[in-house]
Structure 1
Amino acid sequence: MKNRSFIKNKLKLALLAPAVCFSLMLTSCEKDVVELDPFDRLTEASAFTTPERVELAVAGVYDAAQSGFYAGGAVRGYPFGAAHIEQGDNRGEDMLNLEAFYAITYGSTYNAASANNVYHFETLYSVINKANIVIEGVDKAVADGLITAEVGNAYSAEARFLRALSNHELLIHFARPYNHTADASHPGVPIRTIPVNTPARVEEARQQGRDSVRDGYAAILADLDYAETNLPETRAAGGKISRATKGAAIAMKSRVKLHMRDWQGVVTEGNKLISGTESFTSPIGGYALTASADGPWANNSGNSESIFSFMNTANDNASVNGSLGQMYNALPGGRALVAISPLIWNAEFWPADDDRRDITTTTARAIFSRKYRDAGTQSDWSPIIRYAEVLLNVAEAESRLGNNDRALALLNAVRGRSTDQTYTGLTGNALTQAIVNERRIEFVAEGMRWKDIHRLAKEGVFGPAGIPAKVASTSNHIPQYNAGSGTMPATTIPFIPYEDFRFIWPIPVSEVASNPVLAAQQNPGY
């Protein structure tokens, strides 16, 4: 397959019938055009009539995931171009919102009409529907003899990977965690596996309610199992980490099973990508930690550690109102709206001499991450999963299972490349806590914090039992920073307990207004 950035400049493709749309409520067809010039738009029927067009249809699902619509059709990185990171960070306490841009998310003052959560929901379902259209269209292309079954299975596997990624993102924001009930039978989100592309299917969608969290995770794992079986282990340089691979599917399964608290399942999946006892590498895909902590960021479009990321380029990005290079960047040209919080900067478990502190920029007001560096053209790729996460996923699972030595080795592999202050002798809860703490350091500014808060909150042992208290914005935070000191600034944005309705986002008003079943299943409190 050609490089996706090349494809996006070659064809304009609409994967839908003229009157049908892609969000769950299906309100505006303007949201559903994949911008690929210069041909006239193709109908869904013609999108799967040649091998080349089938390939472009698959590229369209990636494009929807990287640059979905916002109000008025603007691109702000929804859902995975940048928004999943920005929202995931601002729901937690380790990044510090400085301006009004993320104030609603940061302060948990959202409602069913708040733009950030509404567009996250709608664009995630847009990705899912486009994936479903591609899966159905690919099956027809195989049946018509346009492509081989092997090629078709690989294309469907890419669509299923993106569908699984989207469904999991929905579940961590709009539903309680897997362990909220003993059997995970509580409400999740609607799981859609057929395209909404005919009037009859539109009406069916308007009557579909929420599946259970248990069924949602089962659907995610089924998609990832299919992806693992049918995706290639490696790709050419242009799509090495921007297109799904077998390793990406396995890595995502290790994350999903961590959220399910299936500790042995995490180990089983992670072990497919781990060989060695002190210095770890992957027999699939050749993944390995980069030599330095800066390695994944000095070249974030291709390095040994990045397993899957979404491409952003100078010609195709989230714009200044959504890109990581603008929001997080205090280098010249950046808007510097989200800084690293003193809460994590001052944490005693983050050594003052840790090399990861050097991946930052200090201004007169605050300390900012320097993981994303291109404020000019916003070309920083959006990371989804790195090898460091796989190692820490398995480390936590091994610790939970009582396999202390291996858990400690995996933890120190990540920690040891950045600091000489590695851990020895930890066992039990102390070891698990050290691993969770290490995730906070390693994944700062990567949107991972909410994922961990969400999965750990019900247990209430290794993370806050709810939405954490946060530092409020002031004109000058610099006096509050004291690396590794354990001295914590005042948190004037208060803690919200897990039981509070604000722990999860509401189903958007646009959806409940169209679907009476969903209206009756709105998250309590909204």
Structure 2
Amino acid sequence: MKNKFFANNRLRLAVTVPALALSLMFSSCDKEVTDLQPYDRLTEATAFETPERAELAMAGVYDAAQSGFYLGGAVRGYPFGAASIEQGDMRGEDMLNVATFYAITYGATYNASSANNQYMWETLYGLINKANVVIEGVQAAATRGVITAEKAKTFEAESRFLRALAHHELLVHFARPYKHTADASHAGVPYRTVAVNTPARIEEVKVHGRNTVKESYDKLIEDLTFAEANLPETRAGSLKISRATKGAAIALKTRVLLHKGDYAGVITEGNKIISTAAPFTSPIGSYKLESQPDVPFASYANNKESVFSIENSSTDNAGVNGGLPAMYGVSPARGLVAISPIIYNASFWKANDLRRTLLTTNNGRAFYLTKYRDAATNSDYAPLMRYSEVLLNVAEAIARTTTGADARAVDLLNAVRNRSVTTVADQFTAASFATSNDLIQAILNERRIEFLGEGRRWSDIHRLAKDPVFSTGGVPAKVAYTNTKFVTWAAASGTVDAATLKIAAVPYDDYRFVWPLPITEVNANPVLAAQQNPGY
């Protein structure tokens, strides 16, 4: 029987002990380690007895981010190997569910027993708990002199980065946005900062319910600030993208602060990694936009634009039932997620935009993305943060805190847009915008195009839900694939056939705007059972 360190991963993750499965072959390790003790005999004590084992423990946290379980053992990219992108897209209106595979998420027919919601919750808390186990383990290892204090802080910083990433994903699915109440005192999610790995710890967390959204965001910023202070600026090879860095922590802070509505904070953080003038090469990490929009997807390990991605490989991926290439691509891929006519036909997406010619295709029935290309082995990395997002985060924050069309905000927008919109007559100048709201709308439109198929649409719908000007009012109505024909897709036409909009909108005040806490959790935790989202 395996000990608790490698226990069955299907445990109630906000309450009981998830596994810290440490893969000796995990691909993000930068060297092979020979260890004569079988990996399934390691305990939490022995896992931190040597520097090599501590490194493997850290790799195990990344593994939890990439390949959490689904339905008791299958790997479908939960939570961040593919699932966060697919679920984020299916909650929005710009990507189209082709078959029944994502119908529950796409049509908002979920309940507390829905598998996708349940396993997103459980694998996110599994990742969080593994991060907390490592934090405690490396701190103790440093005290014993097994690793240096500096190395322990680096491991802790990586773990706190991933812990923040996971908690924020929970917040955008299971809680109302920051601006739902004036002081963000409404229910967030349980923010776990200690390892739940003993009976006493289990009982301890049972009496603590959901933190408020404000408390959750305060803890997010605290974790990311620690990560920023203790992570390296860069790493060797593909690890500069697949392992946390200082730039990744700062970039994630700009996202979190944008959700909070702290626009001054977004600008302050963004200015750390955005140069004062074009081409806006980052002084930290040397991030920069690639010359064409397809480069970050054609060369994951070597491009300059990816800030943080989850690594997949031919031997370790989400498979045909979860992999990004399998879901988003045309034959031989499954082709279950197409581009919706809602965004494809949008007039603000110019017909000659290079993102149409370089990043889309069709099968004679619908249009699809080509961002994810390796349908044979599903080795495409899951892009969680690109430099273009940081530029647009800061552009929006500047536009929201200035009057008129601020020159720097326009320049940041154009840096992202003009590599794809190459016709000069179609490019923006300050004169293109009569008001700052016009500029903000252009930035929001650009986000929908630039991050199409990267799971960011739901995140924007969520954070803008209470915005007095730019809210969608909830989840917009969606196109039903069965009501479409190939001619339904008409680039930049500005119209969508009303007969195709058969998936009804979900108003913001509707209980379905947020996911329910899963039945497995509320059955195990009476405090959280009493804090279930209303309506479920």
Question: TM exceeds 0.5?
Answer: yes
Is 1:479 aligned with 2:487?
yes
> C-alpha displacement at 1:217, in angstroms?
0.5
* Contact persistence 2:154–2:231 (CA under 8 A): yes
> C-alpha displacement at 1:461, in angstroms?
2.3
Q: Distance in 2 between the 1:260 and 1:24 partners?
A: 26
Q: Distance in 2 between the 1:20 and 1:366 partners?
A: 39
Distance 1:244 1:19, change over 3 A: closer
Q: Distance in 2 between the 1:133 and 1:467 partners?
A: 37
* Contact persistence 2:51–2:146 (CA under 8 A): yes
Is 1:469 aligned with 2:477?
yes
Q: Distance in 2 between the 1:293 and 1:385 partners?
A: 15
Q: Deviations over 1:98-130 (max 9, x none)?
A: 010100000000000000010000000000000
Matched with 1:423 is 428
Is 1:512 aligned with 2:522?
yes
User: Aligned match of 1:498 in 508, 515, 518?
Assistant: 508
Matched with 1:334 is 333
Note the residue ranges of structure 2 that are not aligned, 5 or more in a row. Answer: 26-37
* Contact persistence 1:14–1:34 (CA under 8 A): no
Paired residue secondary structure (2:59): helix
Q: Deviations over 1:362-416 (max 9, x none)?
A: 1121100000000111000000100000000000000001162111111111100
Q: Distance in 1 between the 2:266 and 2:134 partners?
A: 30
**TM-align CA RMSD:** 1.7
Q: Distance in 1 between the 2:11 and 2:269 partners?
A: 33
Is 1:521 aligned with 2:523?
no
Paired residue secondary structure (1:385): strand
What letter matches 1:291 in structure 2? S
> C-alpha displacement at 1:205, in angstroms?
2.1
What letter matches 1:469 in structure 2? A
* Contact persistence 2:81–2:317 (CA under 8 A): yes
What letter matches 1:406 in structure 2? R
> C-alpha displacement at 1:485, in angstroms?
1.0
What letter matches 1:423 in structure 2? F
Q: TM-score, normalised by structure 1?
A: 0.95
* Contact persistence 1:64–1:127 (CA under 8 A): yes
Is 1:24 aligned with 2:34?
no
Paired residue secondary structure (1:86): helix
Paired residue secondary structure (1:76): strand
* Contact persistence 2:328–2:336 (CA under 8 A): yes
Q: Distance in 2 between the 1:15 and 1:429 partners?
A: 54
* Contact persistence 1:160–1:227 (CA under 8 A): yes
Matched with 1:66 is 66
Is 1:449 aligned with 2:457?
yes
> C-alpha displacement at 1:302, in angstroms?
2.9
Distance 1:355 1:463, change over 3 A: farther
User: Aligned match of 2:21 in 26, 29, 33?
Assistant: 33
* Contact persistence 1:289–1:305 (CA under 8 A): yes
> C-alpha displacement at 1:39, in angstroms?
3.7
Distance 1:222 1:27, change over 3 A: closer
Q: Distance in 1 between the 2:212 and 2:487 partners?
A: 47
Q: Distance in 2 between the 1:163 and 1:27 partners?
A: 17
* Contact persistence 2:321–2:327 (CA under 8 A): yes
Q: Distance in 2 between the 1:28 and 1:105 partners?
A: 28
> C-alpha displacement at 1:278, in angstroms?
3.2
Q: Deviations over 1:56-105 (max 9, x none)?
A: 00000000000001002110000000000000000000000001010000
The within-5 A match list for 1:382-421 is 382-402=382-402, 404-419=406-421, 420=423, 421=426
* Contact persistence 1:339–1:368 (CA under 8 A): yes
* Contact persistence 1:77–1:323 (CA under 8 A): yes
Q: Distance in 1 between the 2:96 and 2:3 partners?
A: 39
Q: TM-score, normalised by structure 2?
A: 0.93
Q: Distance in 2 between the 1:213 and 1:200 partners?
A: 27
* Contact persistence 1:457–1:463 (CA under 8 A): yes
Paired residue secondary structure (2:172): helix
Q: Distance in 1 between the 2:376 and 2:531 partners?
A: 44
Matched with 1:102 is 102
Is the deviation greater in 248-257 or in 480-489?
Answer: 480-489
Is the deviation greater in 135-144 or in 16-25?
Answer: 16-25
Q: Distance in 2 between the 1:281 and 1:201 partners?
A: 46
Q: Distance in 1 between the 2:512 and 2:483 partners?
A: 28
Q: Distance in 2 between the 1:123 and 1:19 partners?
A: 13
Distance 1:363 1:477, change over 3 A: same
* Contact persistence 2:17–2:197 (CA under 8 A): no
* Contact persistence 1:21–1:27 (CA under 8 A): no
* Contact persistence 1:22–1:196 (CA under 8 A): no
Query: How many equivalent pairs are there?
Result: 512
Q: Distance in 2 between the 1:132 and 1:15 partners?
A: 15
Note the residue ranges of structure 1 that are not aligned, 5 or more in a row. Answer: 1-12
Paired residue secondary structure (1:44): coil
* Contact persistence 1:459–1:465 (CA under 8 A): no
Distance 1:157 1:23, change over 3 A: farther
Is 1:351 aligned with 2:356?
no
Distance 1:423 1:408, change over 3 A: same
The within-5 A match list for 1:359-378 is 359-378=359-378
> C-alpha displacement at 1:422, in angstroms?
1.8
Q: Distance in 2 between the 1:258 and 1:518 partners?
A: 28
